[in-house]
């Protein structure tokens, strides 16, 4: 969980988003809360401007912009949390979600497959199986019957 004492959100050891770059908005939540739901602003919208962030290098910015393109609006990534009754818990939930999204977006892609040749044994097994299938189908074929 993010700590309010820290100067920002830790995404990884190499990347910390300063609190100054984060924007929080609060509004009334439609979730549980009893009578207090109508009076407290417990829903949290946490926004971070990916396009103008000073902590990202060009490679990180391009990778995030490409991978999170469906979630970005004018280069701003917004996360909403309203599942808890308390604003503090919703703030923590939104921060955790934002960190997870950014970490997934910055993660390197899957390694490319190195092309290899089929082994000798696999080729022999394939050919043996083909011969067996061929023989089975030949036995199924209809042969003309002799009538006595």
* pLDDT tens per residue across span 54-108: 898 899 899 989 998 888 899 899 999 988 888 899 999 999 999 999 999 988 8
Q: In terms of DSSP bridges, do strands 8-10 and 22-27 run parallel, antiparallel, or are they unpaired?
A: unpaired
Structure tokens belonging to residue 82: 């309203």
Q: What percent of the chain clears pLDDT 90, i.e. is strictly above it?
A: 39
Q: Please report, for the chain, the start and end positions of each structural domain, with discontinuous segments joined by +.
A: 8-106
Residue 13's pLDDT is: 87
The CATH architecture that domain 8-106 belongs to is 2-Layer Sandwich (3.30)
74 φ/ψ sector (left φ>0, alpha ψ -120 to 50, else beta): left
CA 97, CA 67: separation in Å to the nearest integer? Answer: 16
Residue 85's pLDDT is: 81
| pTM exceeds 0.75, yes or no | no
Residue 6's pLDDT is: 54
DSSP state of 118: P
């Amino acid at each position: 969980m993010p700590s309010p004492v820290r100067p920002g959100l830790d995404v990884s050891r190499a990347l910390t988003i300063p609190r100054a770059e984060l924007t929080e908005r609060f509004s009334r939540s439609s979730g549980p809360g009893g009578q207090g739901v109508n009076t407290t602003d417990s829903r949290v919208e946490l926004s971070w401007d990916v396009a103008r962030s000073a902590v990202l290098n060009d490679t990180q910015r391009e990778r995030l912009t490409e991978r999170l393109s469906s979630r970005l609006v004018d280069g701003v990534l917004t996360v909403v949390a309203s599942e808890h009754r308390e604003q503090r818990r919703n703030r923590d939930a939104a921060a955790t979600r934002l960190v997870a999204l950014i970490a997934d977006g910055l993660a390197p892609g899957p390694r490319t497959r190195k092309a290899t040749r089929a082994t000798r044994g696999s080729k022999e097994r394939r050919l043996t199986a083909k011969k067996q299938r061929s023989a089975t189908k030949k036995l199924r074929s209809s042969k003309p019957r002799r009538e006595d």
